[in-house]
Structure 1
Amino acid sequence: MAELTIERYRGAALQQFIPAVAALRIEVFRAFPYLYEGNEAYEAEYLQTYVDSPGAVVVIARDGEQVVGASTGLPLAAECEEFRRPFEEAGYPVDKIFYCAESVLQPSYRGRGIGVAFFDQRIAHARETGDFDWLTFCAVQRPETHPLRPADYQPLDRFWQKRGFTQAGGLTTEFSWQDVDQPEETAKPMQFWMRQMPAGDL
């Protein structure tokens, strides 16, 4: 196995990784609970947001030259309306919140602390680039009776709680994509999790 590296990229430096990150997102998000029927053109357009947004970051995990994981983040104020609106309606100062968007990691690399490093790197980026008081992300809500839910599925709630996040009561939204077993896009309920920006070193 080659050397495993975890590094932050911003702006034009990120451009070289877009095809690999797009393919990885399609691969990983196809599994439960997202069940995402991916589209390379959409993914490339979506990831371009992280190249173009001054406050955005993508953390790349590589085994040698192979991209095996990626984690995204940007100021909530730069996110789409579906993710900003619940906070605006609840009276939060959106410009004080950093959005830890998504993390994807090939299954064979899980359990090695890379997920923890993804959070640490995004928090460090938020601390260095803005004056943020809060961190947030959201997760899809699927019923326990969902027909494609694996019998051994383990939600990530405990992992997120160990990172200091708790479910934000009343802060929910909906976002649409096409499930692998559906003919068209449908809206999915999404629950936000939040924590205060940690003080000092992580």
Structure 2
Amino acid sequence: MHIVVRQGPEIGPHIDDLARLRIEVFRAFPYLYEGSPDYEQTYLSTYASAPESLFVLAFDGETVVGASTGVPMDRETEAFRKPFAESGRDPARIFYFGESVLLAAYRGRGIGVRFFEEREAYARRLGRFDHCCFCAVERPADHPLRPADYVPLDAFWNRRGYVHQPQLRTEFSWRDIGEDKESAKPMSFWMKELR
């Protein structure tokens, strides 16, 4: 196992790796994402076009088995920027974490922690951000596809210093498993002050 960090235009060769991992990993609860290459192309264009975007990649040999992303919030789409602007926070001072996706066989080895460490360190090096944040989908506790052994990641995020900001909300649309068309999903943000 080894970790590789790619920035800006260096991420280009790994867009397809991230798309593959997102489709596989986000198929599980709570995202239940019925991924498609076309959707991925649209979604990942934000990262491909941002000169300060970041990919943190976990390799097993030559195969990418995990990936984590980040981008300045002011380069994100309106749906992600709007809750911050409306609450009086400057999106230009926030570094946004897009996702962390890791194949199940590689979990529990500290890679998720490393993903957070690398993204936070990068945001600090850029020198203009006060906070890091990410958002997570919200599903009801009685969702019919929620596995009996499902454990939310809230405790993991809290240990990393992230605080849930339920007042900062957005919606994002994708096609759930078994759905014929996309539907809007409620999402809320988690934030950490950079020191």
Please state which band the TM-score falls in when normalised by the shorter chain: over 0.9
Runs of 4+ in 1 over 4 A off after TM superposition: none
Letter in 2 for 1:31: A
91, 94, 103: which one pairs with 2:91?
94
Contact 1:10/1:57 (<8 A) preserved: yes
Contact 1:10/1:50 (<8 A) preserved: no
Q: Does 1:77 align with 2:90?
A: no
Letter in 1 for 2:189: F
**Cα-to-partner distance string for 1:68-88 (whole Å, 9 max, x where unaligned):** 000010011111111100010
Aligned length: 195
Deviation at 1:54, TM superposition (A): 1.2
**Who is 2:15 aligned against?**
18
Alpha-carbon RMSD across the aligned residues, in angstroms, is 1.1
Greater mean deviation of Cα atoms: 41-50 or 26-35: 41-50
**In percent, how many aligned pairs have the same letter?**
55
TM-score (norm 2): 0.96
Contact 1:10/1:51 (<8 A) preserved: no
Find the residue that maps to 1:16 and give its secondary structure: helix
Deviation at 1:45, TM superposition (A): 3.6
Letter in 2 for 1:36: Y
Residue 57 to residue 47, structure 1, CA distance change in 2 (3 Å): same
Distance 2:65 2:28 in 1: 16
Deviation at 1:167, TM superposition (A): 0.7
Deviation at 1:130, TM superposition (A): 3.6
Letter in 2 for 1:90: S
**Who is 1:173 aligned against?**
170
Residue 169 to residue 143, structure 1, CA distance change in 2 (3 Å): closer
Contact 2:138/2:186 (<8 A) preserved: yes
**Cα-to-partner distance string for 1:125-153 (whole Å, 9 max, x where unaligned):** 11112410011110000001111100100
Q: Does 1:117 align with 2:108?
A: no
TM-score (norm 1): 0.93
Distance 1:161 1:24 in 2: 25
